Chain A
Amino acid sequence: MSDFSRIMLFAKRLMLERLLSTRMYIMLPILLLFIPGMAWGFSDPNIVLPGGHQPDTAMEVLFYASLGVVFGATMCAVLLSYDSVSKERASGVLELRLSQPMPRSHQAIAMILGSWRAILGPTWVLLLFSVLIVRYRMGEWLSITDCLVYFTSTALILLWYVLFTLLASSYTREQGTAISFGVGLWFLFTFLWALVTTMVAYASGVSIGQENNAAWIMLEGGLDLLSPNGVYHHLLETRLPQIDRGIAAWQSWAMALVWTVLPSWLFVRRMEKILP
């Protein structure tokens, strides 16, 4: 068996364990409500958003519906992976795993893939339903490129949250701290980031809250690159030509690469040095 097959096999076991766990059954209705539910709501032909705006393309509707991913799927990613390392460490199974000849870096990669695929599978299925709902309600198909960007960006944001949570789980010796760290980080990027943006804007002398203020929009766009949710929306905005926040597509994809590589590297390094 090659190293690659071994990693994939181990990842599959970890994925199935999480996919069939009780917490997944609890979270599925939440995901159902958040992802296809939002697509159904935003694709209503009579919907009028605050500011009198009406979404008029399938990609725009799915862009708004991506709030379901930001609020629901990322939280599920945290809740599925928070005990991936800490539970095994507390039970002694980690010690047994670390004494096996499979390199620790391979074990770490399998852990990332297993936890990620467990949340990615259901989310992608629900995104597919969302695309079908939008087609049914608006009579418009999403283009292949839009589809690719939408599905890839969603996969990436889930991966980032899984990585943060795995890192937290590997540093904590008990699961309460691991979940606090994961949920805390989710809370920061999902709810508090607007506060961070506002504070930086205030400190920089940029008028806050004024619509169509170019300086504010540019600053918010720049700061969003430092948040996984912000990068996610930047990636989706690459398919919405009417939105310009002063960030080029290559910058968004470059930051996506940084958000992917840096925590992955940190986690693999952490697992190489972890003590039982």
Chain B
Amino acid sequence: MDEVVLHLMDATYRHSLYAPRTFKPWRRIRGQGIFSANLSLHKGTILGLVGPNGAGKTTLLRMMAGILPLQSGSVHDNDEDRGTVLSDEHLRKLVGHMPEQVRWQGRKTVRDALLEIGEMRQVSESRIDGLLKLVGLQSRIEAPLNELSQGMRQRLTLAAALLGSPKILLLDEPLNGLDPVAAAAFVVLLGKLKDKGVSIVLSSHQVEGLVEIIDRLALMHRGQILTEGTMIEVAQYLNLDKKTEITGEGDAPDFSKYGVSDKSIEIEQFSKDWKAVLAKSEPGLLKKLVEDGFEVISWNVRQPNVIEMLCAATGQSIEDVGLEVSSTAVLPLRTFRGEEE
């Protein structure tokens, strides 16, 4: 296993919410947030944070960036036995944070905006010019912030996060507003940073497209990290087998004849062809289908994808949930050393 560069131990942060009462108009209660998160970041790896809207991804990133103070738990600079506890200020030195959608505005130039952040991190001017070149803004150095497009603003935010060569990079929805070419270039840049030993945490709704570069995956739901590991480890933890996708021409076969139960197969019949997804591998099925005269066009065995993992972990299904935001009003039940919260 790679060296651990950051370890969250039982880290908790719950947002403070107004709950006024007649005689207590300023009363506040603790609402949703992050509950007892345990997470290790490994050197030179990319961790994808995935969860439905309101799962707490941004809150977790802010905790890791030293912006939100931990209400309980701790952050260590190594694994929990060997590492020292980091203060918020130490954490901020270690981490480069790219918040979601910074709306840079004003008559200030791109260079001045970055210089301002750079001075707060004690970064030299020459490094700033280099970073602007790296994110593709060298031709816009003297442009006022008001004239930047959304994609350019994202690039500028990324440059700000890279200031001071942080060991850990936290990226919240970094692909928002980037055109496809820029997004591809961004993925290449992440790969280079990873090779240099930078640990990257990536929260994105478009994680599906980033699966190829993600080393580890953390599934979040209602303020908790449900599971974390490599894609294969997560799939095993969730008891998800490899799926078999079959496509063919004509009418779809009756799979029950071949011993495949209805529960473990999804069949879609189109006008001229059909598609079936088997939850488990079925040895010998392809041979039987061909022998019975079915025209099989493709046969593909694949790992379960992120959406399937998320649905399995949260108990949600795409059909049931649709676009509904999962309720965060109800605090999750979780066992804390034998006691339920």
Contacts and interface: CB of A to CB of B under 8 A. Distances in A.
Interface of A: 1, 6, 9-10, 13, 17, 20-21, 90-93, 95-103, 107, 275-276
A252 to B, nearest CB: 34
A1 B65 contact: no
Given A96-B102, A96-B157, A107-B120, 11 more contacts: A1-B119, A6-B119, A10-B116, A92-B101, A92-B102, A95-B99, A98-B67, A99-B67, A100-B121, A102-B121, A276-B67
B117 A96 contact: yes
Nearest first, the 5 A-B pairs at minimum CB distance are: A92-B102, A99-B97, A100-B120, A102-B120, A91-B103
Nearest to B68: A275
Interface in B74-105: 89, 92-93, 95, 97, 99-105
Contacts of B322: none
Contacts of A6: 119-120, 122
17 contacts: A6-B119, A10-B116, A10-B119, A13-B116, A13-B119, A17-B108, A92-B99, A95-B97, A96-B160, A99-B99, A101-B92, A101-B93, A101-B121, A102-B120, A103-B89, A275-B68, A276-B67
Contacts of A13: 112, 115-116, 119
A93 B99 CA distance: 9
Given A97-B120, A100-B117, A276 B112 contact: no
Contacts of B117: 96-97, 100
A95 B102 contact: yes
B25 to A, nearest CB: 16
A104 to B, nearest CB: 9
User: Per DSSP, are chain A's interface residues mostly helix, strand or loop, or mixed?
Assistant: helix
A276 B62 contact: yes
Contacts of A96: 97, 99, 102, 117, 157, 160
Contacts, number: 69
Contact of A99 (B65, B103, B104): B65
Given A92-B100, A92-B103, A99 B66 contact: yes
A9 B119 contact: yes
Interface in B143-196: 157, 160, 164
B120 A10 contact: yes
Contacts of B101: 92
Interface of B: 62, 65-68, 89, 92-93, 95, 97, 99-108, 112, 115-117, 119-122, 157, 160, 164
Nearest to A9: B119
Contacts of A276: 62, 67, 99
A111 B135 CA distance: 29
Contacts of B93: 101
B92 A17 contact: no
A95 B121 contact: no
A268 B101 CA distance: 27
Nearest to A1: B122
A268 B158 CA distance: 28
Contacts of A95: 62, 67, 97, 99, 102
A99 B99 CA distance: 9
A192 B164 CA distance: 51
Contacts of A1: 119, 122
A1 B51 CA distance: 42
A130 to B, nearest CB: 31
A6 B117 CA distance: 11
Contacts of B95: 99
Contacts of A9: 119
Contacts of A101: 89, 92-93, 120-121, 164
Nearest to B103: A91
B36 to A, nearest CB: 21
A114 to B, nearest CB: 11
B125 to A, nearest CB: 12
A108 to B, nearest CB: 13
Contacts of A107: 120
Contacts of A102: 120-121
A90 B112 CA distance: 20
A95 B102 CA distance: 9
Contacts of A10: 116, 119-120
Contacts of B157: 96
Contacts of B160: 96
Contacts of B67: 95, 98-99, 275-276
Contacts of B106: 17
Contacts of B116: 10, 13
